[in-house]
Amino acid sequence: MAKFINKVLFIIITFFLYVIIFIENYFRPSHSFTNQPKSAYKSIKSQFRINSKHNSSEKWIVVTSVSAPTEQCIKLSKIPGFKLLVVGDLKTNDSWKLENAIYLSVKTQESLGFQIFESLPFNSYTRKNIGYLYAIAHGAKFIYDTDDDNAPSVDLNTYFSFNDYDKGLIYDCSIEQKVINPYAHFGQPLIWPRGFPLYHIEQNYQNSYVSSNRRKVSIVQQGVVNGDPDVDAIFRLTKTMKFNKIDLYFDSSSPSFQIPLYKMSPYNSQNTLISYNGFWSLYLPKSVSFRLTDIWRSYWAQRLMWLLNETVSFNGPSAYQLRNAHSYLKDFELENAMYLQTEQYVDFLYEWRCKYDTFYKCMLQLSEEMAFRDFWNKSEVISIENWIHDLQMIGYKEPKIINYEHKKTDIFLKCEHLFNDFDKTRVRYTPEFQKPIEIQFYKKDNSFDLSDSVDHFKYFQNMCQKYNITLSNKYLYNSPKQESYSILITFNHEPIEENIIILDNLYKKKFKNIIYCGKQILTKLSGQRGMQKRFDSYTFIELINYGIGEFHYYCMNKAIEMGYKTDGFFLLSDDVLFKYWNVQSFKTNKIWFPFKLLLQQDSTKDIDGWQNHFISLRNSWAYLENIIKNEGFSLKEKDLAKQYLNYIEMNQDSNSTLINVKKMKICGSDTFYIPKEKFDFFYFVTDVFRMHSSLLEIAVPNIIAGLEKYDQNEFMDGVYIWDRSIHFNFSQYDTYVHFYHPFKLSYLKRDMVEYNYCSFYLREAFN
Amino acid sequence: MLKKRAFIKIVPFFLIVFFFLNYKNKNSNESYYSLNDKIAFNSSSKIKWIVVTSISEPTEQCKKLSSIPDFQLVVVADKKTTNTWHLDNTIFLSVSDQESLKFKSIKTTPYYSYTRKNIGYLFAIQNGAQFIYDTDDDNAPTVNINEYFNFKENDYGLVYDCSVESKILNPYAHFGQPQIWPRGYPLSEIEKNYNNSYVSGRRKCSIVQQGVVNGDPDVDAIFRLTKSMEYRKIDLYFDPSSPAFQIPLYKMSPYNSQNTLISYRGFWSLYLPKTVTFRLTDIWRSYWAQRLMWLINETISFNGPNAYQLRNAHNYLKDFNQEKSMYLQTEKFVDFLFKWRCKHSKFYLCMLQLSEDMVKKGFWLEEEVESIKNWIHDLTKVGYKEPIIVNYENKEPIYVKCEHKLGDFDQTQIRYTPNFQKSLDSINYGTEINENFQTLNYFQSECNKFNIDLNYSSKINSTESKLKFNFSILITFNHEPYEKNIVILDLLYKNHFQNVIFCGSRILDKLAQVRGLRKKFDSYNFIQMINFGSGDHHYLCMSKAIEMGFKTDGFLLLSDDILIKFWNFKKFDSTKVWYPFDLILGTVMDANLKLPWVHWPNVRNLISLWKVLEGMVGENLDNTETKIVKEYLRIIDSNQAFVGNGTKVKGAGSDIFYVPKIKFESCYYMTNMMRKYGVYLELAVPMLMAGLENNQSVQIMNGHFEWFGRALDFVSLYQKIDFYHPFKLSTIVNENPGKQYCKFYLYEYFSNSF
């Protein structure tokens, strides 16, 4: 009997132990994720049910809509090359119809057979996930993610970059800030995007970048919008004024820029292009509030991008957004978790490490740990599992991990840019600061003039007052219109800060942008860092093997490479006295050059005094001919080389005595203007000439002679004084000449020069 | 055997002894004398108390607070404060002192909590306090608070206009910073424009008077997170000349427990709630108290900057978290208070009903009610009289309608605009508008018509005008003012005088379209007079300006049609009266005198006024009015041309005169008397001046009164005078005298002022 009781007792105890283990196992979140995820997604290649051809397209626009087709919806449906997909919800009435737009009613969504359908709530913005899947299933290579109240005012096909590689700005990864404020880059340092950590608002913006001739195009490209940009409820509550809509503008000339690995910036689901390699990142979490879902997605996605060596980039203003006022207090309540958690969320992401070597496992591990840390709800994990299952089902290839994290703890690859002019160039970029919101409300007031639009006038005022020359104050009433092109000033020697200040005051407000290029320039005038508009002003391009300016034409390549949106660049060295008011009649879509580019000089024979510099020209020409013959080059390169050589042929002086000898030109090249239409052409040819280290007096004329027929260029009437011994004096100063060279700014220290400078040059400049 | 059992008994014995000893000396390191000796020793029947809490050693500010004359500082300790805390003529209430006070509130006041201050309040009331200055140990006023605050029952000054529809008012806008908002201010109100209409007149002193502080004012965490900049302290300033103003019934504004004076009738409102976070307790108190004030017809008021506050930066996100419910609930809390009605006719019952209803709505927790019961019990125990309800809410119509009794002697409508101070954003980002620039730009473009260059471009660099007076200018309009003239006068004077005030009839809505555009404000200072005639009593504007309470060295009153070379006024003493004539009184005050002056018969009013004045002096009562009249008549006698034959008087031009700050009170009283008896301005003004200043010390302004309509001769007469009357601004539009106005007057103005 006792043995029997012992046995019974034994069974009860073991049963009891078993129950405990079971409960403990079931409820404990399984972070040591040893086995397959619970409902292991089945990687099936099953034929996807709907494969009707007529709906397939490479570029898609995905929006959700609860109302009848909005005006912006109609605009979106008309964008060439893009297919509009509208995802309906319970509230949208199913007779929603718009010509060349596909509408997915809830019923159609269900019929698509996506597993995610079960885990997505109704009356929720996150139904958009089904739209993404539908587009991917129908051959999408690019998805433009936006809303039905936001239509771009520019042509999307030229605004975004659709190829794998391009050139342009990358934010400097050596800056210690983790989260970057894109609005500061585009000229509004006083405001911050929705999702930006509150604690970062007070910090100054470090405006250092690298310009790269070859960068991998970001899988997510977000464009900012003018008018009422995406800001959080705190901004709206504290910065708007009654009866006055937010009407903010960004610098339309600002180049786009890429966020480097191991930095982050919140982006939303408006005006954003996602390419094929980034489709996995489209998933909108359903368990966070509507005001948070795209922001939480952006941080989650950027952390996973580190594994794949992928990035996000931001582009200048491409739409005007109007939002009707609603209760910002309600938004404040919905965004509350964002204000309190963003800091911890970002810190958590920086500490997190993926334990796996396949991408989707990492995605699930991250999603689970976020649930464990309450950054979102546990139900999110199942929904992401469905998402992955559906991606597999429609044939989306799982991304391959490049930067493995499960082997070493220090995942942060050393952030080093390999610097040399042909790879990365260090740049300090400052946008044209736009009117801050505080001042926007003053503008309607009468003749208010901000102090900083008068400062440069005061600067020269003081300079000339010594000789009691007063510059006429008419300038203050009708300040001249701003040219649509930018000015690029090169320095042969290390620039003197005083000269930069003089040039800046001279050209500020008169040109779209002022860029300075030279060596040892980057840290000049950095004393004001953070004082003014949280920014360290001036835009500097720092070239390395620059000598004493023999290759200063290469600055033009760097400016083009940065990606400014401007009509053209007027390059001049710092010792050119430029009378820009005399060239206002020139066409900005033409090349301007101070000499006639009719090629007359014999390129085959060396002339003494030029030693073997001609070889660099002959080698460059040979290299270009080689590009046409040899197949190692892209079609585009071959075409450009052909065009170049044709123009060189066309510009040969037909009645020159040198027959069947290739003629060329040598001349002064301290100033010339390249329109945006010739940017790529100039960039390609100049690279070749720079590779062969061709001297500027040889390179510039012979590059430009290959870009256009010589009589199509605007002819600049300038005065070159070759004889270094005679100094420029104002006796033969002519009012209608376009420029004088050289006019060293250091001359101003000599007697009477500053007096003449005021009475002749500045008087003309300021009236 | 025994040894073992005994041993067992001894051990506990030792334990008890050891325990007892330990307990004893914990007690003894109590401050070396008991509570009662402390009270007797320190409080010499002082009626003004300062209550602070402190958990650290006596701070610098604490020392300052303890040495303010007529004020008794009491410091309420918490468990963390060391018991050896000591500061001469300061009462230190240690935790055990507090317990020995036998207040019921002790049981319901948590430790390590700011709300222990409630015990300090009760202690002060128990010991005869009539006024309590509520502040913190890191904040000491830089001015003498015996003058700064108002300790009287009634006074005169600005009351916010109750007909304006917004419920919550932003005091920072009134003091010149419309872009910032105080902690506790509802977020959805921030975007609204500030409606700057007030009334000026007699008013009952507020039971709560709060002073704003310069430097780092009390703002919420959202402001600090979004507006402060790295490496930069918040350093903001308010307009020092702004008058104090009172919040009318049925309006509210959050106030905190710093730099605030509470008078006896308001002691009930001192209670700090314990079930809300530290960053919320004084704000919730302020809204709760203001709703109850409506029952007893009491108000709060705000006063200009009187201290410089420095705060060391700390984690604002933590504050943000602590203030979270404030951001989300303030709107609902205010709406609830405006809809709430008291069902009782006893004040304390209403207080409890409100506190219970607030629990139901979740604005604070259940334990608050019991704590408030104890608070009421202790108040009565220390002898505090329960306030009597005046506006019953359980009987006839609830709200007393908001109507101001308008009449120059009752309340006058005012549009007050402060001198806007540098906003935080302009300090941080250099987007400062140069005020001078606006003036330079305007007058140069006007004179461009006659192509006269005021060599303006050489002035462009001056950001600060080199001519700055510390007194204010008061411009009166006899007829309805033209807007263009207001703009010209404002641009001419605003960079050089502390305030520019315009006074006249039908002036209030002039230039109103500027409302809301610039800095959320409607600019200019306007005093709207009613029975103003064609300016025959324009001297009453002076008493209105004084009544408003500007903090300025004096007022220079002039009519709009006077040309003044104010850059020549630097030589006058701004503590004396200025007048264009001497003050020798030579005309006998007799109505039957045949004088060529058409207004002389009005002297009858002066005579009847004189009888009243002499009657007052006869009664020889000891009140301020009699003192003022005695002094006035003394100075009149000192200015008599010769003795005998009755009081002599004088009639003279009165379009320009200056009254210094020290003469404000008597000037205010006598001007009102002159106006009551309808004395004509060219009699009233000279008689006023002659009663305020002796002829030896009056500053005589050299100018020209043109009675025969001849135009001003710019070439000769203009050079010799400091002012000219009349000079109609409307005439400068056309060539003559516009060109000369530019060539002589404006040119001289530019070279002297910038």
Assign residue A508 the CATH number of its domain.
3.40.50
Summarize the confidence of residues B498-520 as an average pLDDT: 78
Residues in B touching A343 (Cβ below 8 Å): 317
Together in a domain, A119 and A196: no
Of A429, A444, A459, the domain-final residue = A444
Together in a domain, A457 and A562: yes
Q: Is residue B6 part of a domain?
A: no
User: Which residue in B226, B429, B445 is closest to A234 by CB distance?
Assistant: B226
Summarize the confidence of residues B73-78 as an average pLDDT: 94
Q: Looking at the complex, does the CB of residue B619 fall below 8 Å from at least one CB of chain A?
A: no
Together in a domain, A282 and A430: yes
ipTM: 0.74
User: How far is it, in rounded angstroms, from Cα A616 to Cα A697?
Assistant: 12
Together in a domain, A77 and A208: no
* 3-state DSSP of B22-46: HHHHHHHCCCCCCHHHHHHHHCCCC
**Is pLDDT of A81 > 80?**
yes
pLDDT tens-digit readout, B269-303: 999 999 999 999 999 999 999 999 999 999 999 99
Residues in A touching B324 (Cβ below 8 Å): 336, 340
Range of weakest confidence among A3-7, A583-587, B732-736: A3-7
User: How far is it, in rounded angstroms, from Cα A658 to Cα A655?
Assistant: 9
Together in a domain, A339 and A356: yes
Smallest CA-to-CA distance from A239 within A191, A197, A188 is with: A191
Cβ pair A363, A388 in contact under 8 A: yes
Together in a domain, B465 and B484: yes
Together in a domain, B331 and B223: yes
Together in a domain, B627 and B530: no
Q: Is residue B327 part of a domain?
A: yes
- For position B638, what pLDDT does the model report? 94
Q: What is the CA radius of gyration of chain B?
A: 31
Of A423, A444, A465, the domain-final residue = A444
Residue pairs spanning A and B at CB distance below 8 A: 135
Range of weakest confidence among A447-461, B9-23, B383-397: B9-23
- In this prediction, what percent of chain B has a pLDDT beyond 90? 59
* Angle between the N-to-C axes of helices A679-691 and A635-650, in degrees from 0 to 180, rounded to the nearest 10: 90
Smallest CA-to-CA distance from A266 within A201, A197, A191, A363 is with: A197
CA angle B732–B738–B744, rounded 5-degree value: 120
CA angle A606–A610–A615, rounded 5-degree value: 55
The confidence band for B12, taking pLDDT boundaries of 50, 70 and 90, is: low
Smallest CA-to-CA distance from B688 within B613, B588, B621 is with: B613
Contact A198 B520 (CB under 8 A): no
- For position A68, what pLDDT does the model report? 87
Together in a domain, B328 and B382: yes
Long-range contacts of the stretch A99-106 (C-beta < 8 A, 24+): A101/A69, A101/A73, A101/A76, A101/A77, A102/A55, A102/A134, A104/A130, A104/A131, A104/A134
For B463, list phi and psi in degrees, rounded to 5.
-90, -35
Tokens matching residue A765: 């400049």
- What range does the domain containing B629 cover? 582-653+667-696
Residues in B touching A235 (Cβ below 8 Å): 226
pLDDT tens-digit readout, A66-75: 888 888 999 9
**Is pLDDT of A37 > 50?**
no
Q: Looking at the complex, does the CB of residue B264 fall below 8 Å from at least one CB of chain A?
A: no
- For position A443, what pLDDT does the model report? 44
Contact A190 B425 (CB under 8 A): yes
Contact A438 B431 (CB under 8 A): yes
The confidence band for A39, taking pLDDT boundaries of 50, 70 and 90, is: very low
pLDDT tens-digit readout, A278-313: 999 999 999 999 999 999 999 999 999 999 999 999
- For position A523, what pLDDT does the model report? 84
> Cα separations (Å) of A521 from A176, A422, A496, A529, A712?
22, 18, 9, 15, 36
Residues in A touching B430 (Cβ below 8 Å): 451-452, 531-533
Q: Looking at the complex, does the CB of residue B165 fall below 8 Å from at least one CB of chain A?
A: no
Instruction: Please state the domain count of chain A.
Output: 4
pLDDT tens-digit readout, B436-447: 777 888 888 888
Together in a domain, A602 and A688: yes
Cβ pair B323, B277 in contact under 8 A: yes
Summarize the confidence of residues A52-77 as an average pLDDT: 86
Of A403, A422, A444, the domain-final residue = A444
Q: Is residue B13 part of a domain?
A: no
Residues in B touching A202 (Cβ below 8 Å): 225, 228-230
Together in a domain, A553 and A693: no
Residues in A touching B193 (Cβ below 8 Å): 241-242
Of B91, B106, B134, the domain-final residue = B134
> Cα separations (Å) of B489 from A446, B89, B229, B482, B561?
17, 54, 38, 11, 10
User: How far is it, in rounded angstroms, from Cα A204 to Cα A215?
Assistant: 27
Together in a domain, B43 and B180: no
Together in a domain, B177 and B231: yes
More confident position, B715 or A352: A352
Residues in B touching A477 (Cβ below 8 Å): 445
- For position B32, what pLDDT does the model report? 43
Q: Looking at the complex, does the CB of residue B27 fall below 8 Å from at least one CB of chain A?
A: no
User: How far is it, in rounded angstroms, from Cα B516 to Cα A235?
Assistant: 20
Together in a domain, A101 and A232: no
Summarize the confidence of residues B86-101 as an average pLDDT: 91
Which of A200, A241, A470, A532 is best to mutate for the B interface (most B CBs within 10 A)? A241
Q: Is residue A727 part of a domain?
A: no
Per-window interface: B 111-140 vs A, CB < 8 A:
none
**Is pLDDT of B27 > 70?**
no
Q: Beta-carbon neighbour count of residue B175 at 10 Å?
A: 27
Contact B458 A204 (CB under 8 A): no
Together in a domain, B155 and B54: no
Cβ pair A31, A369 in contact under 8 A: yes
Together in a domain, B301 and B181: yes
Find the residue in B nearest to A236 (Cα): B191
Range of weakest confidence among A256-260, B60-64, B410-414, B462-466: B462-466
Instruction: Please state the domain count of chain B.
Output: 4
User: How far is it, in rounded angstroms, from Cα A92 to Cα A105?
Assistant: 8
- For position B404, what pLDDT does the model report? 74
Distance from CA of A469 to the nearest CA of B (A): 10
Q: Is residue B730 part of a domain?
A: yes
Q: Looking at the complex, does the CB of residue B518 fall below 8 Å from at least one CB of chain A?
A: yes
Smallest CA-to-CA distance from B220 within B229, B228, B208 is with: B228
DSSP letter assigned to residue A573: E
User: How far is it, in rounded angstroms, from Cα B611 to Cα B605?
Assistant: 10
pLDDT tens-digit readout, B106-165: 999 999 999 999 999 999 999 999 999 999 988 889 999 999 999 999 999 999 999 888
The confidence band for B479, taking pLDDT boundaries of 50, 70 and 90, is: confident
**Is pLDDT of B620 > 70?**
yes
Range of weakest confidence among A2-16, A619-633, B464-478: A2-16
Together in a domain, B182 and B227: yes
Q: Is residue B22 part of a domain?
A: no
CB-based burial, B504-526: b 16+ in 10 Å, e otherwise: bbebeebbeebbbbbbbbbbbbb
In order, the DSSP letters of A578-633 are E-GGGGTTS-TTS-EESS---B-EESSS--TTSTTHHHHHHHHHHHHHHHHHSTTS
The confidence band for B25, taking pLDDT boundaries of 50, 70 and 90, is: very low
**Is pLDDT of A758 > 70?**
yes
Q: Is residue B5 part of a domain?
A: no
**Is pLDDT of B434 > 80?**
no
Classify strands B587-588 and B648-649 as parallel, antiparallel or unpaired.
Answer: antiparallel
Together in a domain, B673 and B706: no
Distance from CA of B172 to the nearest CA of A (A): 15
- In this prediction, what percent of chain A has a pLDDT beyond 70? 89
For B400, list phi and psi in degrees, rounded to 5.
-70, 125
Summarize the confidence of residues B457-486 as an average pLDDT: 84
B210 DSSP β-pair partners: B260, B302
- For position A342, what pLDDT does the model report? 93
- What range does the domain containing A516 cover? 451-581+746-758
pLDDT, chain A, mean: 86
Together in a domain, A207 and A336: yes
Q: Is residue B424 part of a domain?
A: no
Together in a domain, B244 and B375: yes
User: Which residue in A332, A444, A461 is closest to B187 by CB distance?
Assistant: A332
Q: Is residue A67 part of a domain?
A: yes
Together in a domain, A224 and A91: no
Together in a domain, A437 and A529: no
Q: Beta-carbon neighbour count of residue B710 at 10 Å?
A: 8
Indicate the residue type of B668.
Y
Together in a domain, B50 and B92: yes
**Is pLDDT of B735 > 90?**
no
Together in a domain, A139 and A254: no
